[in-house]
């Protein structure tokens, strides 16, 4: 048996799974951890939490009895994109990592575009505009606001690549995750020395860059002792959570698009060509498929909006559901089903941590609009589901406008595990949505990439063809679709009316009493 392991270092937890050479999942395990928000709009995490969760889940998967440790041929890594892990010359973490949904770097984004010679010039260099979530502005922020600490920084890693370092002792990354740093020459799949020079950043801060299925390192003796993975096992490049998740969903050819409703929401399309959009309306990067590219839109708090509702406004229901052994989300969505489409005129803006696509606005705020005494909890929950899906449609419409082929939409994440939310997605997207036989997302994609890198398959599409197939479809209700089309126009106008107020609210918060 040739077993490969996929590890996904997420924002709220790490998932690890093992598959055989046919793509069958043999064992899986998850471990959760918290995220820190020391100030409004800030988001940080201690990388040691990731390593602890990785050790725990690896030992759980290896101890499940489904295979022998000696069967493990390779490991693939995936993880939350854009985060920044700052290491000193001894490889020690010097501060908590700044995450993808951290919004403190608006001034640094403006500085990057100015140094690059303008937004269009920046996009020509690295395929993307400067966004607060990206890695490069985080480096500039630390350099400016924590200069003493910055003096000791010798290496900057992405979250999954920190796990690679702990597992192998090697500094490395790969092109799909590196695309989200704003420091990669995406067209040529290498670090942009031109932009690094303009930003006065030493190239030695960044690790060597590989293709996603390419072997980047092997498990060290220290990594083996910590995790149980045999020393010498090959570790492939892997992928950022979205490109790796796309592999796990079979999004490896043009025409198939994924809509993933996790903490963030992502609409992701494969493209054989990079293309150029001077406005930078969607995020572009290298795909985890060698030689291919991707285009994606990101909603920062899609499923995260429902998670927030569960944690802050559904505590009693969550406790009751857990006492009965029921998924709390099923309780909430069952309540939402009591309200009809449109929640009787109640809208929800899911901008709880600012927004990326299509507004690129760190000051954007969330909230319900249209509340009346008629509305109750079912309407509020349904509006959350619909608002997150409307936000996803924003990105889908941009992909359509850019003439990227859409022949099939595959849904995954929490939004694909619930019949009501799948129906809402089909009706708001205006297209049938499909689920596949694999639902493990990035960890599964990382394991498939490891199968390719260790010789189980010759190409990434070949691996996906062997392991992935659609199993269920949810059809559009034409009458509900027509209603949502009208409601979507209202939804789109709400941000435009409120964006000035959002900025004023942020200023008030910054000023304090």
> Which residues are CB-neighbours of 273 under 8 A, at least 6 positions away?
293
Q: Is the dihedral of CA 437, 440, 445, 448 positive or negative?
A: negative
Bridge-based pairing of strands 215-218 and 97-98 is unpaired
Say which of 161, 241, 361, 363 is annotated catalytic. Answer: 241
Q: Is 348 helix (H, G, I), strand (E, B) or coil?
A: strand
Q: Sort 127 into a burial class: Cβ within 10 Å, 0-12 / 13-18 / 19+.
A: buried
Structure tokens of 485? Answer: 């089309």
Q: Is 277 helix (H, G, I), strand (E, B) or coil?
A: coil
What DSSP element (H or E) covers 384?
helix 377-401
Q: Sort 454 into a burial class: Cβ within 10 Å, 0-12 / 13-18 / 19+.
A: buried
Does the annotation flag 380 for ligand binding? Answer: no
Structure tokens of 464? Answer: 């996906």
| Torsion-angle region of 370 (φ positive above 0: left; ψ -120 to 50: alpha; else: beta) | left
- Quote the strand ranges of 293-417, DSSP E: 293-299, 347-349, 367-369, 406-413
Does the annotation flag 375 for ligand binding? Answer: no
DSSP secondary structure code for residue 255 in this structure: E
Using alpha carbons only, give the angle 461, 447, 256 rounded to the nearest 5 degrees: 35
From the CA atom positions of the chain, what is the Rg in Å? 22
Do 300 and 330 contact (CB within 8 A), yes or no?
Answer: no
Q: Is the dihedral of CA 126, 393, 354, 508 positive or negative?
A: positive
What DSSP element (H or E) covers 471?
strand 470-474
Kindly report the number of other CB atoms within 10 A of residue 172's CB atom: 21
Q: Give the Å distances, CA to CA, from 411 to 247, 267, 323.
A: 13, 9, 30
Is 88 annotated in the active site?
no
Torsions phi, psi for 190 (to 5 deg):
-155, 165
What DSSP element (H or E) covers 467?
helix 460-467
Q: Residue ranges for the binding site? A: 81-82
Q: Which residues are catalytic?
A: 241
Binding site residue list for substrate? 81-82
């Amino acid at each position: 048996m040739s077993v490969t392991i996929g590890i996904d270092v997420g924002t709220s937890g790490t998932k690890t799974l093992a598959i055989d050479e046919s793509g069958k999942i043999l064992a899986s395990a998850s471990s959760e951890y918290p995220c820190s928000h020391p100030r409004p709009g800030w988001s940080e995490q201690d990388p040691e939490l990731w390593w602890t969760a990785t050790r725990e889940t690896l030992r759980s998967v290896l101890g499940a009895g489904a295979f022998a440790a000696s069967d493990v041929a390779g490991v693939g890594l995936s993880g939350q994109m854009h985060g920044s892990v700052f290491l000193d010359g001894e490889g020690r973490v010097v501060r908590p990592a700044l995450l993808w949904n951290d919004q403190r770097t608006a001034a640094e984004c403006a500085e990057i575009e100015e140094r690059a010679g303008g937004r269009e010039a920046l996009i020509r260099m690295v395929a993307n505009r400067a966004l607060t979530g990206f890695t490069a502005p985080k480096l500039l922020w630390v350099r400016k606001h924590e200069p003493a600490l910055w003096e000791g920084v010798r290496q900057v890693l992405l979250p999954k690549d920190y796990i690679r370092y702990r597992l192998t002792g090697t500094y490395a990354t790969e092109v799909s995750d590196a695309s989200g740093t704003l420091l990669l020459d995406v067209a040529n799949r290498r670090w942009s020395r031109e932009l690094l020079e303009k930003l006065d950043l030493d190239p030695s801060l960044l690790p060597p860059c590989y293709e996603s299925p390419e072997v980047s390192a092997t498990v060290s003796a220290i990594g083996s002792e910590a995790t149980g993975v045999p020393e010498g096992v090959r570790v492939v490049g892997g992928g950022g959570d979205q490109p790796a998740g796309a592999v796990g969903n079979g999004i490896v050819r043009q025409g198939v698009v994924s809509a993933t409703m996790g903490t963030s929401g992502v609409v992701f399309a494969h493209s054989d060509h990079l293309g150029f959009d001077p406005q930078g309306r969607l995020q572009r990067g290298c795909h985890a498929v060698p030689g291919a590219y991707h285009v994606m839109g990101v909603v920062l708090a899609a499923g995260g909006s429902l998670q927030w509702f569960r944690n802050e406004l559904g505590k009693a229901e969550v406790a009751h559901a857990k006492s009965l052994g029921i998924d709390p989300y099923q309780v909430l969505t069952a309540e939402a089903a009591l309200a009809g489409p449109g929640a009787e005129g109640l809208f929800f803006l899911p901008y709880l941590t600012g927004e990326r696509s299509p507004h690129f606005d760190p000051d954007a705020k969330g909230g319900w609009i249209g509340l009346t005494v008629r509305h109750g909890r079912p309407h509020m929950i349904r509006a959350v589901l619909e608002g997150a899906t409307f936000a996803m449609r924003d990105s889908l419409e941009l992909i359509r406008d850019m003439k990227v082929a859409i022949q099939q939409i595959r849904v995954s994440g929490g939004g694909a595990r619930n019949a009501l939310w799948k129906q809402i997605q089909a009706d708001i997207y205006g297209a049938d949505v499909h689920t596949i036989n694999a639902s493990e997302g990035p960890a599964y994609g990382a394991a498939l990439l490891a199968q390719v890198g260790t010789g189980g398959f010759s190409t990434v599409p070949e691996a996906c063809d062997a392991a992935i197939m659609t199993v269920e479809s949810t059809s559009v209700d034409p009458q509900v679709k027509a209603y949502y089309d009208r409601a979507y126009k209202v939804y789109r106008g709400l941000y435009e009316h409120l964006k000035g107020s959002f900025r004023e609210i942020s200023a008030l918060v910054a000023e304090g009493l």
